[in-house]
């Protein structure tokens, strides 16, 4: 998925990395679905791109990360903010990934596959990824829309290299009625390093025609 991205998309999302934007630029061929306003001045705009999904996340008006998903919200990969050439990309045809319908029906689902890590120097370094999704009965109201809250625990590691281990614990929010999947608070772990938690709690969701749709600065946690 990421390998097929056009140069125009990379430039539109990352070309102005040093500068804040007021409105998210929608990649060609994509339709914006909603913008989620989170704590710590973060917004995430959810897109439909053909049969696939993308999420553009901004922090303080600056591009932060782009997530790519298949049509069932299974992770396809992600691009880091600092460098458009730094990415994790799903190894196609390997393993199994989240199916949102199964998660809603069963309350749990898994991911088990391989992500390929690349930078300007490193190309397609394999990381084994394993994740466990779980939905609780807790329902959170976002601007009048009901989202079930759950958790995702994900681990990545190069096979046989203990020092490469990375772990992530995330809150997740799922709306069956809207067909949307939203990530919240994130705790990241790395071998022999202190864990770090970021408050990315979603506080509101905006749709086309509503104030804050496509905004890159959140209604929550921004200075000034």
CA–CA distances in Å: residue 165 to residues 8, 148, 193: 33, 30, 11
Cα separation of 174 and 7, whole Å? 32
DSSP 3-state of 132: strand
In order along its 224 residues, the chain shows pLDDT tens digits of 554 443 334 444 444 444 677 999 999 999 999 999 999 999 999 999 999 999 999 999 999 999 999 999 999 999 986 556 689 999 988 899 999 999 999 999 999 999 999 988 889 999 999 999 999 999 999 999 999 999 999 999 998 888 888 899 999 999 999 999 999 999 989 887 778 899 999 999 999 999 999 999 999 999 85
- Give pTM, 2 decimals: 0.89
Cα separation of 53 and 177, whole Å? 17
């Amino acid at each position: 998925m990421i390998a097929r991205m056009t140069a125009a998309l990379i430039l539109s999302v990352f070309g102005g990395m040093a500068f804040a934007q007021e409105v998210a630029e929608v990649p060609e061929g994509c339709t914006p679905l909603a913008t989620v306003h989170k704590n710590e001045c973060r917004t995430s705009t959810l897109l439909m791109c053909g049969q696939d999904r993308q999420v553009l996340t901004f922090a303080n008006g600056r591009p932060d990360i782009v997530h790519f998903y298949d049509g069932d919200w299974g992770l396809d990969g992600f691009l880091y903010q600092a460098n458009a050439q730094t990415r994790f990309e799903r190894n196609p045809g390997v393993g199994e990934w989240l199916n949102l319908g199964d998660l809603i029906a069963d309350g749990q689902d898994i991911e088990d596959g391989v992500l390929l890590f690349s930078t300007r120097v490193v190309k397609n370094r394999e990381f084994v990824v394993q994740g466990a999704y779980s939905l609780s009965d807790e329902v959170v109201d976002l601007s009048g829309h009901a989202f079930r809250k759950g958790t995702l625990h994900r681990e990545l590691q190069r096979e046989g290299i203990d020092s490469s281990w990375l772990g992530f614990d995330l809150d997740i929010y799922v709306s069956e009625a809207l067909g949307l999947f939203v990530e919240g608070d994130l705790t990241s772990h790395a071998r022999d390093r202190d864990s770090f938690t970021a408050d990315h709690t979603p506080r509101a969701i905006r749709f086309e025609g509503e104030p804050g749709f496509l905004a890159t600065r959140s209604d929550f946690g921004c200075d000034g």
